[in-house]
Structure 1
Amino acid sequence: MSNRQTPAQDRMQPAAASPLLEAKNLTKEYPGVTALDQVNFELRPGEVHVVFGENGAGKSTLISILAGANQPTAGEIFLRGEAQHLHSVHDARENGISAVFQEFSLIPQMTVEENLFLGGEPTRRGFIDKDRIRREARAILDELGFNLNPRQRVDHLTRAEQQMVEIAKAFRSDLSVLILDEPTASLTSHETDHLFELIAQLTKRGVGIVYITHRMAEIRRIGDRITVMRDGRYVDTVDAGSTSEDDLVRLMTGRVVGSIFPELDLGEPGRQVLQVKDLTTVGDTVRAASVEVRAGEIVGMAGLVGSGKSELLQACFGAIQIESGSVQLNGADITGKPPRHSIRAGFLYLPADRRKEGLMMMRSVRENVSLASLDIAPFSNGLWMDRSGEARAVSSLAERLNLSPPRIERAVDHFSGGNQQKAMLARSLTRSYDLIVFDEPTVGVDVGTRASIYEFIVELAKQGTAIVLISSDLPEILHLTSRAYVFYRGRIQAELSAGQLTEENVLAHFFEREAA
């Protein structure tokens, strides 16, 4: 283990100097909702100031106003002591404020370099200077250590690579304030380390960082101060180094939350539910993989982004084409069957990217929850949809999962990330499933929602459902699974039993092993 200091230790701690950026009594009202209620916030030069709170606490509204993407109903913003009226994102960038939002703002049909300079293209003799764009794009990507081709179209990139492009956009101009909203959600540990080194370099130059994360380890590693929000209101600002995790959760939720991971106590697994033999996908994203999952157990799939852990279960579900091998569910061959067949056979896959793959963002909670069960009661009565039965069932599930607000006719896009995740999870309760795959189920959700999701998964396993948990979050694999498979470049490197699930053992198989 390296003795290298973390970025927060590398730099001098920011003194209690005049604020670089300050918000006073910021209020944002929508019809019937107060998203921000007289919130105060200050950012000092050279500090990483973490904004912490549950989903729906007002964090995203606050940073959208600071970044110029939204305008407050009331309140003021000051930059270096001078009042600012940030009418747009472009206006904020002109003042040295750049943001990397959790939801990407890229144009898929354009290249990496075109996205980096979109809206600020350099010109020469009245024409866009493409050579300069290419040179400067390459320089930015090299500075950040991102191995991307500037000429590659964004829609051909993985989600992790698209995250890199979003981060690179913020470095296009001179920075005074950098706002990062869950920037590591799709990055590998190596890419995260490099991002944190860049943050350390920026803070040494006096750049202030506003940082949103739900990961306690990141707060400890790079944070200086933490502002806690709850229900659109300011709660407190505390020191990141001396405030305990329990205190943070208490401030965030207004209640004491115990250990985030529930006790498993699953007992002996039952019958074999899923059996995969020598599966290889078209394109070799998975090669000769064999796994089995039994009733009442939680099986982890670990590995770096792109290792094949998600692609294996997508292929089993029917979302990726299989070249060779076999998949059996409850003893029946489902190799190559479409997702519709898998669902009706008792197999549900909940994807990692809820916005692009898991939910219809412009449709209601009701429609999203019932999506996989429109062929059965109470959602239909044969040939026809049963609207009243559907509404009653979804309302009951919304109450069970504590959807906030419990408005099932509201479009999913109008809910916080944690509540969007609850809407997708509710789908697993609309019919009887023998096997449920949760792919990165806690990405972008707060600690309280994360604990609820863990309890939800464990309860399903205790009821006899076979669970597969695909996760890039190592603590989830260590604390929430009965055993785990570790992937590397499409192959299974190891299968680890509960007694072998340690950080060292898992990480030892994340990379290529030397020949004996």
Structure 2
Amino acid sequence: MNTQTVILEMKNVTKSFYGVVALNDINFSLHKGEVHALLGENGAGKSTLMKILSGVYFPDAGRIFIDGNEYRFKNTVDARKAGIAIIHQELNLCENLSVADNMFLGRENPKFGILDSQSIKEQTQQILDSLSLSIAADSIVSTLPIAQKQMIEIAKAVSLNARILVMDEPTSSLTAAEEEVLFELIERLKKNGTTIVYISHKLSEVFRVCDRVTVLRDGEYIGTKDITEVTEESLIAMMVGRSITNVYPPSSHTIDRTKPRFEVKNLCASSYVKDAGFCVYPGEILGFSGLVGSGRTEIAKAVFGCLKKTGGSMFLDGNEVIIDNPQQAIKQGIAFVTEDRKLEGLALGLSVADNITASNYDLVSQAGVVQTKKSNSLISKGIEKLRVKTPGAKTHTGFLSGGNQQKVILARCLSKDIKLLILDEPTRGIDIGAKTEIYALMRELSAKGMAIIMISSELPEILGMCDRIAVMKSRRIVKILDKKDANQETVMTYAAGGSDVE
């Protein structure tokens, strides 16, 4: 890599939305053939800067230079012609079409009104083969795993002759093995001269694949460093403006294990969950770990009534409970923060206020009529308690950062008297600052006696926060480990091979 060859310069870029400054006089540059991390908390301005680069937004001020030539992108087509492509966290593929159809969507170039499907298929296969991807061009996208869909997006960018490729949280839905495939592909692209902007909240990845790093905070440029000049601690300090020494706050209370708060015996849910048994005590955080597809989320959904149970029984404070739907779970004092907050947890087109009061109308209404004073009080308390950063309660939830969207869901759940809180991937796609706030909240709630189930793909998170860990494989719980007996190697051994729970 020639670090002296500057391919991109963004100078004095400024952008505001409705009077709120999203970017203030930002300077950002890329060297040809480097992998450059762009870091910052949710709301720092990373996505806005990249949307300006890719032609989605037009800056209020500032200039863009590529290879020394100034560009003013009016739209995404202009940016694409200049060799810029962006792969969003939410993949943009047509699931019902083939890989080839997706690759050339909008660029079919028919002759005499006739589409040359064979030529498109051959060109697609050549691109896939050149990237050493074992994917057939005629495969229907919906039949492929998420990792291969991610690779298709990258191949699509390569087919556009992209010189600058932006990857936004590319590993958020990948397993460890799939991540390695992606990292190998990034290395090949880098050797071929492609410049990559890498956005991620996983700092381990940044040190694994990146050459330099730029940090934004609250729309301001904080600095650019070679990756060899920084540590994980110094990057966190740059991002949040302070040093965070205890990412995982220690537990400060003793768990009373005389009587479970919640107990499951022989739980089955068709082929999704097989003969699961576990309990969680008041004040305990019970973690669920395992490879993707092991059944972690399905157990949570079966408990909450989202999946139909085909066997087993559940007990809350020693009394058997029947939960066939989420409404019954909520009435029993069980709350569930889902894995996919955008699809299952929130109505993004509705306000923060509407999302907090959803499922809480029994608390703010009388004779079927919402009482404004009660409603406003519940909303204000939720925003204040969870420290939701929002211009106001009437702001559309879709405009908030990922971390603040997660806080809105928690504000809704915690408005009621909760006995069991189920958190499925509670920190996925959110920044380190918001993560530490959620961890601190979990400690606070458990100290008050709330039982918590935490499902996570992040082993350091599971090991750092949980009192016991239930390891799953093939839809079964194969081992429940005490915190003192658990480490990454032990958990992964059971997740990959495992033996029956004693």
TM-score normalised to structure 1 length: 0.90
Please give the alpha-carbon distance, in whole angstroms, between the structure 1 residues aligned to 2:191 and 2:231.
Answer: 26
Alignment of structure 1 residues 239-258 onto 2, 5 Å: 239-258=226-245
Measured after TM superposition, the shift of residue 100 of structure 1 is: 0.9
Task: Give the fraction of aligned pairs with identical amino acids, expressed as a percent.
Answer: 38
Corresponding position of 1:459: 444
Corresponding position of 2:43: 56
RMSD: 2.4
Please give the alpha-carbon distance, in whole angstroms, between the structure 1 residues aligned to 2:134 and 2:372.
Answer: 50
Corresponding position of 1:273: 261
- Which one is further off, 111-120 or 72-81? 111-120
Corresponding position of 1:7: none
Corresponding position of 1:396: 381
Measured after TM superposition, the shift of residue 504 of structure 1 is: 0.6
Corresponding position of 2:295: 308
Please give the alpha-carbon distance, in whole angstroms, between the structure 1 residues aligned to 2:291 and 2:122.
Answer: 30
Measured after TM superposition, the shift of residue 118 of structure 1 is: 2.4
The one-letter code of the counterpart of 2:307 is: I
Measured after TM superposition, the shift of residue 163 of structure 1 is: 4.6
Change (3 A) 1:392 1:317: same
User: Is the 1:163–1:186 contact (alpha carbons within 8 Å) kept by the matching residues of 2?
Assistant: no
Alignment of structure 1 residues 359-508 onto 2, 5 Å: 359-376=346-363, 379-508=364-493
Change (3 A) 1:147 1:370: farther
Please give the alpha-carbon distance, in whole angstroms, between the structure 2 residues aligned to 1:30 and 1:146.
Answer: 43
Please give the alpha-carbon distance, in whole angstroms, between the structure 2 residues aligned to 1:362 and 1:109.
Answer: 26
Please give the alpha-carbon distance, in whole angstroms, between the structure 2 residues aligned to 1:337 and 1:375.
Answer: 20
Q: Does 1:25 align with 2:42?
A: no
Alignment of structure 1 residues 124-135 onto 2, 5 Å: 124-135=111-122
Change (3 A) 1:482 1:136: farther
Corresponding position of 2:140: 152
* 3-state secondary structure, aligned to 2:225: strand
User: Is the 2:479–2:498 contact (alpha carbons within 8 Å) kept by the matching residues of 1?
Assistant: no
Measured after TM superposition, the shift of residue 141 of structure 1 is: 5.6
Please give the alpha-carbon distance, in whole angstroms, between the structure 1 residues aligned to 2:252 and 2:195.
Answer: 45
* 3-state secondary structure, aligned to 1:277: strand
Please give the alpha-carbon distance, in whole angstroms, between the structure 2 residues aligned to 1:55 and 1:250.
Answer: 15
Please give the alpha-carbon distance, in whole angstroms, between the structure 1 residues aligned to 2:71 and 2:186.
Answer: 25
Please give the alpha-carbon distance, in whole angstroms, between the structure 2 residues aligned to 1:331 and 1:111.
Answer: 53
Change (3 A) 1:153 1:47: closer
User: Is the 1:111–1:152 contact (alpha carbons within 8 Å) kept by the matching residues of 2?
Assistant: yes
Q: Does 1:74 align with 2:61?
A: yes
Measured after TM superposition, the shift of residue 18 of structure 1 is: 2.6
Please give the alpha-carbon distance, in whole angstroms, between the structure 2 residues aligned to 1:334 and 1:391.
Answer: 33
The one-letter code of the counterpart of 2:456 is: S
Change (3 A) 1:337 1:222: same
Q: Deviations over 1:285-307 (max 9, x none)?
A: 22222222121100111112211
Please give the alpha-carbon distance, in whole angstroms, between the structure 2 residues aligned to 1:66 and 1:15.
Answer: 22
Please give the alpha-carbon distance, in whole angstroms, between the structure 2 residues aligned to 1:474 and 1:147.
Answer: 30
Change (3 A) 1:98 1:325: same
Measured after TM superposition, the shift of residue 208 of structure 1 is: 0.8
Corresponding position of 1:4: none
Alignment of structure 1 residues 88-167 onto 2, 5 Å: 88-107=75-94, 110=97, 112-137=99-124, 143=131, 145=133, 151-152=139-140, 154=142, 163=150, 165-167=152-154
Measured after TM superposition, the shift of residue 126 of structure 1 is: 2.7
The one-letter code of the counterpart of 1:214 is: H
Please give the alpha-carbon distance, in whole angstroms, between the structure 2 residues aligned to 1:380 and 1:148.
Answer: 56
Measured after TM superposition, the shift of residue 136 of structure 1 is: 4.6
* 3-state secondary structure, aligned to 1:104: coil
Corresponding position of 2:34: 47
Measured after TM superposition, the shift of residue 149 of structure 1 is: 8.6
* 3-state secondary structure, aligned to 1:272: coil
Q: Deviations over 1:424-481 (max 9, x none)?
A: 1212221011111111111111111111011111111111111011000110111100
Please give the alpha-carbon distance, in whole angstroms, between the structure 2 residues aligned to 1:140 and 1:331.
Answer: 60
Unaligned stretches of 5+ in structure 2? none
* 3-state secondary structure, aligned to 2:223: strand
Q: Deviations over 1:297-326 (max 9, x none)?
A: 001111122111111111111111222223
Measured after TM superposition, the shift of residue 280 of structure 1 is: 2.4
Please give the alpha-carbon distance, in whole angstroms, between the structure 1 residues aligned to 2:482 and 2:401.
Answer: 36
- Which one is further off, 167-176 or 357-366? 167-176
- Which one is further off, 229-238 or 328-337? 328-337
User: Is the 2:269–2:309 contact (alpha carbons within 8 Å) kept by the matching residues of 1?
Assistant: yes
The one-letter code of the counterpart of 2:414 is: L
User: Is the 2:95–2:140 contact (alpha carbons within 8 Å) kept by the matching residues of 1?
Assistant: no
* 3-state secondary structure, aligned to 1:200: helix
Please give the alpha-carbon distance, in whole angstroms, between the structure 2 residues aligned to 1:209 and 1:22.
Answer: 14
Please give the alpha-carbon distance, in whole angstroms, between the structure 2 residues aligned to 1:342 and 1:470.
Answer: 18
Please give the alpha-carbon distance, in whole angstroms, between the structure 2 residues aligned to 1:225 and 1:174.
Answer: 23
The one-letter code of the counterpart of 1:304 is: L
Measured after TM superposition, the shift of residue 204 of structure 1 is: 1.1
Change (3 A) 1:110 1:423: farther
Please give the alpha-carbon distance, in whole angstroms, between the structure 2 residues aligned to 1:468 and 1:260.
Answer: 19
User: Is the 1:437–1:468 contact (alpha carbons within 8 Å) kept by the matching residues of 2?
Assistant: yes
Measured after TM superposition, the shift of residue 336 of structure 1 is: 5.0
User: Is the 1:401–1:422 contact (alpha carbons within 8 Å) kept by the matching residues of 2?
Assistant: yes
Please give the alpha-carbon distance, in whole angstroms, between the structure 1 residues aligned to 2:440 and 2:414.
Answer: 14
Corresponding position of 1:341: 328
Corresponding position of 2:188: 201
Please give the alpha-carbon distance, in whole angstroms, between the structure 2 residues aligned to 1:384 and 1:304.
Answer: 46
- Which one is further off, 388-397 or 298-307? 388-397
Q: How many residues align?
A: 498
Q: Deviations over 1:35-86 (max 9, x none)?
A: 1111110011121111111111100101111122222122111111111222
Please give the alpha-carbon distance, in whole angstroms, between the structure 2 residues aligned to 1:426 and 1:163.
Answer: 33
Measured after TM superposition, the shift of residue 26 of structure 1 is: 1.1
* 3-state secondary structure, aligned to 1:363: coil
Measured after TM superposition, the shift of residue 398 of structure 1 is: 1.1
Please give the alpha-carbon distance, in whole angstroms, between the structure 1 residues aligned to 2:372 and 2:99.
Answer: 45
Measured after TM superposition, the shift of residue 166 of structure 1 is: 4.0
The one-letter code of the counterpart of 2:267 is: L
User: Is the 2:357–2:375 contact (alpha carbons within 8 Å) kept by the matching residues of 1?
Assistant: yes
Q: Does 1:511 align with 2:499?
A: no
Unaligned stretches of 5+ in structure 1? 1-13
* 3-state secondary structure, aligned to 2:362: coil
